[in-house]
């Protein structure tokens, strides 16, 4: 994924990406960086039938941090502030 000041790229999660995520895959952490998924602690569908998954990624030396993906939602994190993507 590449961005520029004039043409930012917005990543929208697909149903397949959400449902196929598993431990050991790379996924965005809550800061918008790709990290290895260490565990999955929630998976399901919301009231509109959209798939979601909640997971932990590696973070620092021996640490983990939680994040989530939802079908049809913009991938977000500190690297993708709303003001920038507008």
- Let me know if residue 3 belongs to a domain: no
Which residue segment(s) compose the domain that 53 sits in? 15-72
Determine the pLDDT at residue 74. Answer: 81
Give the 3-state secondary structure of 26-79. Answer: EEECCCCCEEEEEEEEEEEECCCCCEEEEEEEECCCCCEEEEEEECCCECCCCC
- Let me know if residue 86 belongs to a domain: no
> What pLDDT digit, counting tens, does each position of 42-66 carry?
999 999 999 999 999 999 888 999 9
- Let me know if residue 65 belongs to a domain: yes
- Let me know if residue 40 belongs to a domain: yes
- Let me know if residue 59 belongs to a domain: yes
- Let me know if residue 48 belongs to a domain: yes
Mean pLDDT of the chain: 82
> What pLDDT digit, counting tens, does each position of 28-41 carry?
998 888 999 999 99
- Let me know if residue 51 belongs to a domain: yes
- Let me know if residue 39 belongs to a domain: yes
Split into its structural domains, the chain has a count of 1
Band (pLDDT 50/70/90 cuts) for residue 68 is: very high
């Amino acid at each position: 994924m590449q961005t520029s000041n004039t043409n930012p790229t917005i990543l929208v999660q697909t149903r397949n990406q959400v449902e196929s995520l598993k431990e050991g895959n790379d996924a965005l952490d809550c800061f918008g960086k790709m990290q290895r998924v260490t565990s999955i602690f929630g998976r399901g569908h919301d009231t509109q039938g959209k798939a979601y998954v909640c997971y932990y990624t590696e973070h620092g030396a021996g640490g983990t941090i939680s994040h989530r993906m939802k079908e049809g939602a913009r991938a977000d994190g500190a690297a993708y502030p709303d003001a920038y993507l507008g």
